[in-house]
A and B are shown apart, each in its own frame.
Chain A
Amino acid sequence: MSKSVGAPPGPIALIGNPNTGKTSLFNRLCGLRAHVANHPGITADARVGSSRMGGRERSYIDLPGLYSLELDLPESRLGRKVLEPPVDPSSPESLPRPSAVVVVVDASNLARNLTLAAETIERGLPLVVVLSMGDVAERRGVQVDADALAEHLGVPVVPANPRRGEGVEAIVSALDHATLGRAPESGESREEWATRTATAVTRREREEEDHGTDRLDRILTHPIGGVVVFLAVMAGLFSTIFWLAGYPMTWIEEVFALLGGGVTDLLPEGVLRDLLVDGVVGGIAGTVVFLPQICLLFFLLTLIEDTGYLARASFVANRLLRPFGLPGTAFVPLLSSHACAIPGIICTRLIPDRRDRLATILVAPFVSCSARIPVYTLLIGVLFAGRPAWQGGLAFAGCYLLGGVAALLTALLFRRTLLRGRSRPMLLELPPYRRPSLRNAALTAWDRGRTFLVKAGTVILLISIVLWWMSTYPGTPTSPEVLELRTRAEAAADATAAEQLAAQADRLEGRESLAGSYSGRIGRTVEPILSPIGADWQLSIAVLSSFAAREVFVSALTVTLGAGDDIDDSGRVREIVASARRDDGSPLLDPAAAASLLVFFVLAMQCLPTLAVTSREAGGWRWAALQFGYMSVVAWFLAWLTHGIVGGGA
């Protein structure tokens, strides 16, 4: 019977209802960073880790919380996939069958938790039951007799507090004695069995109603009060993120500027140096710079989640989003998209309904992400030069608003057409209010940040290299003008003048080589498409480059204008861009062009990594193509309108 003794060390699966402490236990066991949060069903993936606790190496799988293995929900399907023998063991998709299962059971809610335990027992794997939340149960006047429960189930039962790390060693030693449990006998349903067992092992000292929680729930989900609290929390969240993340972002930019300078000094002039400085260092810098915002967002979001507020907020959000065909559960993904659409789209795994989920994925990139900020800053700076600062601030807020409105209206459009269907009414467990754990939040922020770096970093790096290549090759012969400037520089008597002339020659050469490069040629080719929104060939190159990743716009524009890609000094960039001319001598960025480009950048789908994530999460390139096509058309059209209105009015 005892399969466990001498068995090959297959992984140990942690399973249980949502919010029972599985991830906390997993973190305690493995010391590995995985997402922990007080929000039902937040772990969207199974995490794997290993531990040497108890004197031998074991690997563990942390499954997302689930109510039942029998449901048609993503987390239940994943649970079945892990626990049941694979249909085709040779398929690369199949997972190794666990050697044992740890069922984490909430002592304060035993009957429901034991139903899942019964389902697990029926899967025929050796198991250990962990009795968590004993402290919560005790506070409610409920005591569970672990020995009696072990007697009933026929498996080891270990009381533990995963939050505080108590009982973890006992769990590890109990794993040596994991056995097959006693399933409900025929004639008795799992629920009946679970209720009977729970009653037999539970002692209830008093029954009390939690009026404090009732009152808080009523305030936080109130039709008016709830919305006020919700908006206040969101406003606080955003201002904190933007204010706090500003510091590390500046440091990161400075460090990479130093690094780029170091490489420039170390290597001889040439293709390799350009590739490293502009392609590799530039590409990595462009990704890493968003890290503080993403980490901070998830740190604060996890704190809020852990308090139990987020589940209530989902109901408030449901009230606000439902009229547009989006579920309340879409609000965490849309919120995260303000930092970056990639983690936002990955978060949509928590949305149970397929159509709701697809609608959320499709509109998430409309939300203004942090990659747009440098572009907004530049264009608004040009547009509102010499005007009071509050006007620029208002325009900035207007960009965020425009993105949000576009997202909502698009969701409505898709839910009325392509994704038509009844929306599922909201149904969510409300976890108890808790003091958030800073440790949890820090681990989550670290985990999310790392995932972002790996996922986005590799793609963005690749794109940056390709972009660099396209704007460098095929290369053009040096023009007579440049040569003349060089000669004059050499002949110049005073050193400053010589330096200035040489720099001017470099800039002109850079601009000419870009104009002659593949990017430049493409820029000229697409100019007719982009000229209705006010772009000439130079702006076209910059816009086109930014289709790989928006933040490239600023550096591409400075390179195109022959300013070098000195993006450290944003004031100087603005001056150069504001004074730049078109081939016919008119200003490059007149108000109409600046305004229409601003609208274009708010709305256009210019981020290849996001498209890759969309296609994976939505299940096919068709969705990514739809997203790209739809957003580009909307962006172009509204930019064209803006160009007409601003240009006509001026």
Chain B
Amino acid sequence: MIDKRDSEGSRPSPTPLSDLPAGARATLSGDRLEATDRELLRAMGVGSDAPVRVCRQGEPCIVEVRSTRVGLSRAIAALLDTVPAEPIQRPARLTQLPPG
């Protein structure tokens, strides 16, 4: 897991995909996946620099990348880093997990 103490400032910092609220837009910036999963995702169009929109958060996490909709189990979403298009509205991660 990466450092969770997000700076509260306006400068977007990498956030796990699983922490984005539904409706958020972000750009994928990196991952900590196994090679097989990374390659498959990349071939599906969900690679670095891809713009994502979160359609549903939780298990599964559903994202839209360009016009592809992909369902990801939470375990994968937690390993994908994103740079949110705008700072997240919610108080950045406390100890609570988002519902779902």
- Seen from chain A, the residues whose Cβ lies within 8 Å of a Cβ on chain B are 67-68, 70-73, 108-109, 111-112, 115-116, 140, 142, 191, 209-210, 213-214, 217-218, 221, 223, 311-312, 315, 318-319, 424-432
* Given A209-B53, A223-B100: A67 in contact with B69 (beta carbons within 8 A): no
Q: With the chains together, A210 CA to B66 CA distance in Å?
A: 12
Residues of chain B with a CB closer than 8 A to A223's CB: 58-59, 100
Q: Which residues of A contact B85 (CB under 8 A)?
A: none
A residues less than 8 Å from B88 (CB atoms): none
Q: How far is the CA of A295 from the CA of B59 in the complex (A)?
A: 34
A315 vs B71: C-alpha distance when bound (angstroms): 8
Please give the distance in Å from A324's CB to the nearest CB on chain B: 16
B 63-96 binary contact with A (CB < 8 Å = 1; else 0) = 0101111111101100000000000000000000
A613 to B45 alpha-carbon distance, docked (Å): 36
A430 contacts B69, CB within 8 Å?
Answer: yes
Decide if B45 touches A432 in the complex (CB within 8 Å). Answer: no
Check: B47 CB closer than 8 A to any chain A CB: yes
Closest-CB distance, B42 to chain A (whole angstroms): 8
Query: Taking the nearest CB of chain A, how far is it from the CB of B15, in angstroms?
Result: 19
Inter-subunit contact A67/B66 (CB<8 Å): no
Contacts of B67 in A (CB 8 A): 108-109, 140, 142
Q: A111-B45, A213-B69, A214-B55 are in contact. Are A427 and B39 (CB under 8 A)?
A: no
Bound Cα distance A236, B14 (Å):
45
Residues of A within 8 A of B37 (CB): 424-425, 427
> How far in angstroms is the closest Cβ of chain A from B50?
9
B66 partner, pick from A111, A428, A431, beta carbons under 8 A: A111
- A109 engages B45 (CB within 8 Å): yes
Across the interface, name the chain A residue whose C-beta is closest to B41: A427
Within 8 A of A (CB), among B39-65: 39-45, 47, 53, 55-56, 58-60, 62, 64
B62 touches A425 (CB 8 A): no
- Nearest-neighbour CB distance to chain B for A453, whole angstroms, equals 35
B36 within 8 A of A: yes
Residues in B neighbouring A108, C-beta threshold 8 A:
67
CB pair B56–A218 under 8 Å, yes or no, is: yes
Minimum CB distance partner of A68 in chain B: B43
Q: Which 6 A-B pairs have the closest CB atoms?
A: A67-B43, A68-B43, A112-B45, A425-B73, A425-B75, A430-B69
Known pairs A217-B55, A318-B60, A429-B69 / 14 extra A-B pairs, C-beta < 8 Å: A67-B40, A109-B66, A210-B64, A213-B55, A221-B60, A312-B71, A315-B59, A315-B71, A425-B76, A427-B37, A427-B70, A428-B71, A431-B69, A432-B69
**Distance in Å: Cβ of A613 to nearest Cβ of chain B:** 27
The chain B residue with its CB closest to the CB of A314 is B71
User: Contact: A319 with B59, CB < 8 Å?
Assistant: yes
Chain B residues with CB under 8 Å of A221's CB are 56, 60, 62, 71
Minimum CB–CB distance from B18 to chain A (whole Å) comes to: 12
Do A67 and B44 contact each other (CB < 8 Å), given the known contacts A214-B55, A425-B73, A429-B68?
yes
Q: How far is the CA of A312 from the CA of B70 in the complex (A)?
A: 10
Can you list 30 A-B contacts with CB-CB less than 8 angstroms, sorted by A residue number? Answer: A67-B43, A68-B43, A71-B43, A109-B45, A109-B66, A109-B68, A112-B44, A112-B45, A115-B43, A140-B67, A217-B56, A218-B22, A221-B56, A223-B58, A223-B59, A223-B100, A315-B59, A315-B60, A318-B60, A424-B36, A424-B37, A425-B75, A426-B73, A427-B73, A427-B76, A428-B70, A428-B71, A430-B62, A430-B70, A431-B69
Name the A residues within 8 Å of B68 (CB-CB): 109, 112, 429
Please measure, in the bound complex, the distance between the C-alpha atom of A115 and the C-alpha atom of B44, giving whole angstroms: 10
Contact (Cβ within 8 A) B66 A112: yes
A218 CA / B55 CA spacing, docked (Å):
8
Best-surrounded residue of A73, A214, A315, A427 (most CB of chain B within 10 A): A427
Q: Classify the interface of chain A: helix, strand, loop or mixed.
A: mixed
- List residues of chain A with CB within 8 A of the CB of B64: 209-210
- A108 to B60 CA separation, bound complex (whole angstroms): 24
Asked whether, in the complex, the Cβ of B60 is within 8 Å of the Cβ of A426, the reply is yes
Q: A311 contacts which chain B residues (CB < 8 A)?
A: 71
- Closest CB-CB distance, B87 to chain A, in whole Å? 20
Distance between Cα atoms of A193 and B73 in the complex (Å):
30
Residues of B within 8 A of A424 (CB): 36-37
A-side contacts of B100, CB under 8 Å: 223
Give the residues in chain A near B58, CB-CB below 8 Å: 223
Chain B residues whose CB sits within 8 angstroms of the CB of A210 once the complex forms: 64
Q: B99: nearest residue on chain A (CB-CB)? A: A223
Q: How far is the CA of A210 from the CA of B60 in the complex (A)?
A: 18
B60 contact set on A, CB distance < 8 A: 221, 315, 318, 426
Please measure, in the bound complex, the distance between the C-alpha atom of A223 and the C-alpha atom of B59, giving whole angstroms.
8
Partner of A430, one of B59, B71, B76: B71
Residues from chain A with a CB closer than 8 A to the CB of B41 are: 427
- B44 A214 Cβ-Cβ under 8 A: no
- Of A71, A142, A315, A432, the residue contacting B40 (CB under 8 A) is A71
Contact residues in B for A68 (Cβ distance below 8 Å): 39, 43
Asked if residues B43 and A427 are in contact (CB atoms below 8 Å), the reply is no
Provide the bound-state CA to CA distance between A388 and B69, in Å.
51
With the chains together, A430 CA to B72 CA distance in Å?
A: 10
Whole-angstrom CA separation of A209 from B63 in the bound complex: 12
Closest to B58 in A: A223
CA distance A218 to B57 in the complex (A): 9
In the assembled complex, the CB of A450 is this many whole angstroms from the nearest CB of chain B, namely 33
Using CB atoms, name the residue of chain B closest to A112: B45
Complex CA distance for A619 and B99, rounded to whole angstroms? 43
**Nearest chain B CB to A79 CB, angstrom units:** 12
User: Taking CB as reference atom, which chain A residue is nearest B57?
Assistant: A218
- A73-B64 Cα distance, complex, nearest whole Å: 23
Bound CA span A210–B62, Å: 13
B 22-43 to A, binary, CB cutoff 8 A, 1 in contact else 0: 1000000000000011011111
Smallest CB–CB gap between A186 and chain B, Å?
A: 20
**Could you tell me the distance between the alpha carbons of A140 and B69 in the complex, rounded to whole angstroms?**
14
A70-B47 contact in complex given A112-B66, A428-B71, C-beta closer than 8 Å: no
> How far, in whole Å, are A432 and B76 apart by their CA atoms in the complex?
22
Q: Which residues of B contact A213 (CB under 8 A)?
A: 55, 69
Contact, CB under 8 Å: A72 / B36: yes
A406 smallest CB distance to B (angstroms): 27
A370 to B56, CA, bound (A): 39
Given A217-B56, A221-B60, A427-B70, does the pair A73, B45 have CB atoms closer than 8 Å? no
Bound CA span A427–B76, Å = 8
